[in-house]
Amino acid sequence: MALQVSKAFINLPVKDLRQSMDFFSHIGFDFNLQFTDDKATCMVINEHTYAMLLVEPFFQSFTSKELSDSRRSTEVIVALAADSREQVDELADKALAAGGSHSNDPQDLGFMYTRSFQDLDGHLWEVFYMADPESHQA
């Protein structure tokens, strides 16, 4: 039997916690204030997935490795599955309106539609909708 975990926590370093919270709030995400202080916040992506936004010095306390400059290099792309193409556009448009920046051009592969953006710290986010494979005819 394959290993299964019950929840996922993505930890991301941020320069300004308040600005990051405002950015992701504008997109439509909520935060668990029980796990929020001046060093970190817990952004709720869904009931099983969370992004811990940690100010850089606090994030650094969890690793002996040097932090990447996410504006110049990429270590991870956070991909979020949407329920529709319209939801992909809505989330990406909100991110850009909130101060995020364009990452890649939208891709429409017929069975899958994606848009991507960079958050205020340069982290890459991809939002995609994938049609039910049963309904897609090649």
Considering the segment(s) 1-62 as one domain, its CATH architecture is: Roll (3.10)
Residues 6-15 have a mean pLDDT of 95
Question: Is-contact 38 22, C-beta < 8 A?
Answer: no
* Per-residue pLDDT band at 31 (split at 50, 70, 90): very high
* Per-residue pLDDT band at 138 (split at 50, 70, 90): very low
Instruction: Return the structure tokens found at 48.
Output: 């099983």
Tens digits of per-residue pLDDT, 95-114? 999 999 999 999 999 999 99
Protein fold of 73-138: 2,3-Dihydroxybiphenyl 1,2-Dioxygenase; domain 1 (3.10.180)
Domain with CATH 3.10.180.10 in the chain: 1-62, 73-138
Question: Quick one: which H or E segment has residue 24?
Answer: helix 17-27
| pLDDT over threshold 80, residue 27 | yes
Indicate the average pLDDT of the chain: 93
| pLDDT over threshold 90, residue 34 | yes
Residue 130: strand pairing partners = 112
Angle ∠(51,106,117) on CA atoms, nearest 5: 30
Tens digits of per-residue pLDDT, 46-100? 999 999 999 999 999 999 999 988 889 988 999 999 999 999 999 999 999 999 9
* Per-residue pLDDT band at 18 (split at 50, 70, 90): very high
